[in-house]
Structure 1
Amino acid sequence: MDDRLECSAVRRGEQPPWIVSDELWAEIDPLLPPRPPRRHRFPGRKPLDDRKVLCGILFVLYTGIPWEYLPQELGFGSGMTCWRRLRDWNDAGVWQRLHEVLLGKLRAADQLDMSRAVIDGSHVRALKGGPKPVRARSTAAARARNTTSSPTRAASPSPSA
């Protein structure tokens, strides 16, 4: 891969967790939906390589930065490009299929420990219901009396002379 994909926050000799290995890419690539063909006339920009975009997605998810702050210097494309691909791949069911493929590989290698897996979860509705919540009294302060002036009676018309 491109040497621009390295980051100084990772120790020398270690691969950053957002860089997709060749082995993992071989599993992911067939699961991605095919790109629509480019128009002959006015083809627009060439789409970014899926692997670089995936690295950008993983970088954002790993670091927690907002999509719009994805550094262009890393070569992953813009944050919006990465976000759109994530959305499109999610809609196409890529992540679910990848999860199933990786679980199958672990199962085949006898490395899947299901001792902590939840087999069935259920909710039982309380038919009689719980206690009704009591309306809480207001904790707002009562309106204080105005001490600078007191109410006066309405003026009565004086008898005309």
Structure 2
Amino acid sequence: MTSRRPYRSDVSDARWHLIEPVFIAWRARRTGPGAAARVHDLREIVNAILYVNRTGIPWEYLPHDFPPYKTVYDYYAKWEADGTTEQVHDLLRDRIRQAHGRDTHPSAAVLDAQSVKTSCNVAEADQGIDAAKKIKGRKRHLATDTLGLLLAVIVSAASVQDSAGGKRILDEVAAAQPAVAKVWVDGGYNNTVINHGAQLGIDVQVVKRTTTAGFQVLPKRWVVERTFGWLMQHRRLARDYEALPQRSRTMIHWAMANKMSRELTGESTPTWRIDSGEADIAA
């Protein structure tokens, strides 16, 4: 462990203990020239990724007491490409479900989509306009379990309709979570999604808004809305800064891994609305 002063986004010893076996196995699989060199502490690489994820800074603005930002991003990209990041995420999700007395293979899911603006480094071809939300950028299509934990995520141009994205995310859910037999969606998903779900053996049910004036918590659907709230606690996700959509998807996995590891160890995620003294207590 490094001797530097810790940042609030650093993983604690308890949180690192949860995910360390994944990285030990990853390093053991590394072969080829230079693979034997253990220059960088993988825990520090994870800390640097979470620092970017939580604070929203550009990679090149990483503090100097972290490993070089190009090295950190190289690990970030490699772990995305070889599935290591998703493996960490899925490990934590399974442990959360077990802690809640649930089977690791969920039988129900909730779908929704969120449009976000993009930064100037995102290619025009990867963007689109969500006419309903009046947003030019990308759209995150999420499937969560009934605890709000991520089962599948697709990042597309914001111009992709919910129904088209819904069919794609159902395919992802069916492939990754074959036990899912029930899915709840909102009114933005039309009959094509329902019919597509039926072809996959999934019963898709639309949860409609109530006619009551004012804010209403909608049954089943609220859990995915809470998940979007969890993601927004990570400033890197308040806007889509990633040049590649797969990197954007990975940033979502890291945000959820951060949230789940804190829940498993009883640590709260500090909010930006408390002062530094209270933050020390919350951390």
TM range (shorter): 0.5 to 0.7
1:28-82 deviations in Å (ceiling 9; x for gaps): 2222312436659xx8x7521100111011111111111111111x2x2011111
State the secondary structure of the residue aligned to 2:183.
coil
The residue number in structure 1 matching 2:60 is 68
- TM-score (norm: length of structure 2): 0.34
Residues 5, 19 of structure 1: 8 Å contact kept: no
Q: 1:110/1:77 Cα in 2 relative to 1: closer, same or farther (>3 Å)?
A: same
Residue number in structure 1 paired with 2:86? 96
1:4 matched to 2:68? The reply is no
Cα distance in 1 between the residues matched to 2:11 and 2:32: 25
Deviation at 1:102, TM superposition (A): 1.3
Aligned partner of 1:24 in structure 2 is 15
The 4+ residue runs of structure 1 with deviation greater than 4 A are 37-40, 115-118, 120-123
Corresponding residue for residue 114 of structure 1 = 146
Q: Is the 2:40–2:67 contact (alpha carbons within 8 Å) kept by the matching residues of 1?
A: yes
**Mapping 1:1-161, distance limit 5 Å:** 1-7=1-7, 16=8, 18-32=9-23, 33-34=26-27, 35-36=30-31, 39=34, 46-72=38-64, 74=65, 76-110=66-100, 114=146, 119=183, 124=192
Paired AA for residue 82 in structure 1: V
SS at match of 1:36: coil
Contact kept? 1:53, 1:85, Cα under 8 Å: yes
The normalised TM-score by structure 1 is 0.55
1:90, distance to aligned residue in structure 2 (A): 0.9
- Code of the residue aligned with 1:22 in structure 2: it is D
Post-superposition CA distance 1:106-153 (Å, at most 9, x none):
12111777166782666628xxxxxxxxxxxxxxxxxxxxxxxxxxxx
Greater strand fraction, Structure 1 or Structure 2: 2
Identity within the alignment, %: 29
Query: Structure 2 CA distance, aligned partners of 1:111 and 1:5?
Result: 38
Letter in 1 for 2:52: V
Q: Quick check: which has more Rg, 1 or 2?
A: 1
Name the CA distance, whole Å, in 1 between partners of 2:57 and 2:85: 21
2-structure distance, mates of 1:29, 1:63: 23
Paired with 2:184 and 2:99, the residues of 1 have a C-alpha distance of: 25
* CA RMSD, Structure 1 to Structure 2 (Å): 3.1
Greater share of residues in helix? 2
Which secondary structure does the structure 2 equivalent of 1:119 belong to? strand
Change (3 A) 1:66 1:110: same
Distance in 2, Cα, partners of 1:100 & 1:46: 26
Structure 2: any 5+ residue segments left out of the alignment? 103-144, 150-181, 194-283
The structure-2 alpha-carbon separation of the partners of 1:116 and 1:78, relative to structure 1 and needing over 3 Å to count, comes to closer
